[in-house]
Structure 1
Amino acid sequence: MLRGGLVIGAGVVVAATVSACESGPTPNQTTAEALLPLARSADADAAAARDLAPRVTEYSAALTVVADQRTRHAQALTAEITRLDQDIAARVSETASPSAPVTPTPTAPAGTATLDDLRTALTSSAKSARQAAISLSGYSAGLAGSVSASTTTLVEVQLG
């Protein structure tokens, strides 16, 4: 009887420990959540660059490069989020908001960005990706670091 009580007691402790460990997010979920705003920013930045290209003709070619690169960033980040957690990946396209506030100007209708707004948004996106790279590990950290470096280059070289 004493042995049976010990076995049952140990079983309850093990079950409670396992149950407590499963209540928080997994490491994959935590990483996917950290990458989610980066993917949303990349989508928003690409859309802003596409919107500006026909209006800011002296920067049309550069803005096309920015839009293409930020689209590729969004695709790579979304692929990594999907690999980590498909439920979180389903949220990538929810409310993709720009990284910086959009300021209407006399030549730009409300809801569209100016070139300076885009530079600010890209700089903010690069900073967020850099911070994510520092806090993450493995492939996800490398991806975030690459996105940060590329986005910084887009600001400095393409729009500088």
Structure 2
Amino acid sequence: MSTPSDERVVGRVVRAHGLRGELVVEPRTDNVDTRFAPGAVLSVRGRRVPGTGSLTVAAVRRHGDRLLVTVEEVGDRDAAEALRTAELTAPALAEAPEDPDEFHDHQLEGLTAVLTDGTTVGTVTAVLHGAGGELLAVERAEGGELLVPFVAAIVPEVDVAGGRLVLDPPEGLLDPAD
């Protein structure tokens, strides 16, 4: 049995597809074939699922950069639509190679964001995945939220063990919105 800290986000439900309850899923894993293989069991985070809170993959097919996933627990469009925006999670894979320049969302969430001079900006509360790339949601120390593009030019250093990441923002990025 896995604990929530062992779970990794492997996809996000974008919307329902068709009348039979297929899910349009944006994959968030390099192991799509393993994570979404028929018979794979995925936990659901962010939405209420009838029964056990998990979904069993029955079938999957590619749809551009996304997947069309049929799960045993969802039989119609209404049930599929109820899962819109839900995150799909699965236990960490033991054999997953570690790339020092790649991070899981859970590793970044909770890190302290500091400037290159050491000034604290705030705390990373979430990693937002969009078509243009990832954004770090940072709760500012003085209040409010800041969205920071998660790119090497702006986030040159991530120290998971040290609990911080360094920001080198372009002029105006940290200015409060009017």
TM-score band w.r.t. shorter chain: under 0.3
User: Which of structures 1 and 2 has the bigger CA Rg?
Assistant: 1
Which is bigger in relative contact order (C-alpha 8 A, separation at least 6)? 1
State TM-score, norm by structure 2: 0.25
Q: Which has the higher helix share?
A: 1
Q: Which has the higher strand share?
A: 2
